[in-house]
Amino acid sequence: MVGKGIIKGMVETARNFLGSYVSKQRLTTIQYPEERAPQIEAARNFPFLVFDGTDAEQGLRCVACQICEKECPPKCIFIEKSKDKKPDATGKMQFYPATFNIDISVCMSCQICVEVCPFDSIKMDVVYDLSNNDRFAGLLLHKQQLAKSNEYYNTIHPTEAAAVDAHFAEERAKAAARVKAAAEAKLAAEAKAATDAKAKSETTLADTQAQPVGGGTR
């Protein structure tokens, strides 16, 4: 029949029109900024630095190894290593980044810096309303702006953060076990040395005590 295709098309649009008043599936708009889309866990936007504890300077995991700076494809990370060392979360003395800048107007969110970091110190954030009036300085994020706590990391990427925490806990347990074993070994060595010395002094005492029978008064 002539016009059948057109009629079918119009029925389809009418169905969508009426359906948009009844079902959410036919009206998929999310009214930003009153409503926000639910965050998908694996989403990534720009990197941030993780610190343990409450002090951003003290607990920063980054040791300024500069691997992320080398591997970044558009070369948007700028690190200056410090001259001195500070103790990290496990007490070991490490370097730290004196400056750590990321130019987010260049960053392409490829996540390679996260992949190559051996210390789990740089991760991907999910914040996207980062607009600024200053094109250059406003989009160059410094260490203070980049450092966010481990609790925050746990809220945005729970599974990933839990895996990282579990890994750290394991490392710490192993380290603690090593320290304990070393301490015990040291203790055992000291105890053994003490018993050896005691045994040696006892034998010498016994020798001196056993001697005057043949000597008499001289």
Partner 1 sequence: MNLKLDQLDQIFVILNNWLLGYLPPVVRPLCSSILAIALILVTFALLFAITTVLERKGLGRIQNRFGPNRVGPCGFLQPIADGIKSLTKEDIVPNPADHVVHFLAPVLLVAAAFMAYAVLPIGRNMILVDMNAGVLYFFAIGSLMELAVFMAGWSSRSKYSLLGAMRAIAQMISYEVPLVLASIVVIMQSGSLSTVSIVNMQATYTGIWPHWFVFTPWGFAGFALFMIAATAESNRSPFDLPEGESEIIAGYYTEYSGFKFALFFLGEYIGMFATSAMAITLFLGGWSAPFSFLTWIPSYFWFFAKLLTIILTFIWVRGTLPRLRMDQLMNLAWEFMLPMTLLNLLTAGVWHFMPAGALRWLICGAMVVVPCILLSRGLKQRKKFQVRKYRFSE
Partner 2 sequence: MSDATNLTAQIDINTIPALGKEQLLELAMGPQHPSTHGVFRMNVVLDGERVMKLKPVFGYLHRNHEKIAESETYLGSMPYTDRLDYICSITNNWAYAIAVEKLAGIEVPERAEYLRVITGELTRLQNHACLLGFLMQDMGASGTPLMYAFREREKIMDLFEGLTGARMMCNYLRFGGCRVDTPAGWMDAARKVVAEFPRFLDEYENLLVGNEILMDRTQEVGILSKELAINAGISGPMARASGVDYDIRKVDHYSIYDRFNFRIPLGERGDVYDRYMIRFLEMRESIKILEQAMRDIPDGPIVDPKTKIRGFRPKPGEAYGRIESPKGELGFYLVSDGALNPYRYRVRPPSLINLTVLEDLCIGQNVADVVVILGSIDIVLGEVDR
Task: Kindly determine how many residues on this chain lie close enough to bind partner 1 according to the rule CB under 8 A.
Answer: 17
For position 108 contacting partner 2 by CB under 8 A, the verdict is yes
Q: Which residue has the tokens 């250059």?
A: 136
Answer whether 112's CB lies under 8 Å from 152's CB: no
Distance separating alpha carbons of residues 80 and 101, to the nearest angstrom: 9
The reply on whether position 6 binds partner 1 by CB under 8 A is: yes
Token digits for 170?
């394991």
Stretch 17-56 residues interacting with partner 2 (CB under 8 A): 28, 40-44
Scanning residues 116 to 175, which ones bind partner 2 (CB under 8 A)?
116, 124, 159
Closer by beta carbon to partner 1, 6 or else 93: 6
Q: Give the end-to-end CA distance of the chain in Å, rounded to a whole number.
A: 146
From the CB of 36, what's the least distance to partner 1, in Å? 17
What is each CA distance from 4 to 8, 10, 26, in whole angstroms?
6, 10, 25
Contact of 188 with 196, CB cutoff 8 Å: no
217 contacts partner 1 (rule: CB under 8 A): no
Residue 53 and residue 59 in contact, taking contact as beta carbons nearer than 8 Å: yes
The one among 56, 59, 71, 154 contacting partner 2 by CB under 8 A: 71
Decide which of partner 1, partner 2, none touches 109; Cβ closer than 5 to 8 Å per partner kind: partner 2
> Which one of 11-19, 80-88, 188-196, 205-213 is the stretch in contact with partner 2 (CB under 8 A)?
11-19
Cα dihedral 158, 159, 164, 168 sign: positive
How many CA atoms, within 13 angstroms, populate the side-chain half-sphere of residue 164?
22
Our CB check for partner 2 shows the closer of 9 and 138 to be: 9
Q: Are 38 and 72 in contact (CB under 8 A)?
A: no
| Contact status: 111 vs partner 2 (CB under 8 A) | yes
The answer to the question of residue 37 lying near partner 1 (CB under 8 A) is no
- Residue 103 engages partner 2 in binding (rule: CB under 8 A): no
How far is the C-alpha of 194 from the C-alpha of 197, rounded, in Å? 5
Contacts with partner 1, residue ranges (CB under 8 A): 1-2, 6, 9-10, 12-14, 16-17, 20-21, 26-29, 31
Contacts with partner 2, residue ranges (CB under 8 A): 2-6, 8-9, 11-13, 16, 28, 40-44, 67, 71-73, 108-112, 115-116, 124, 159
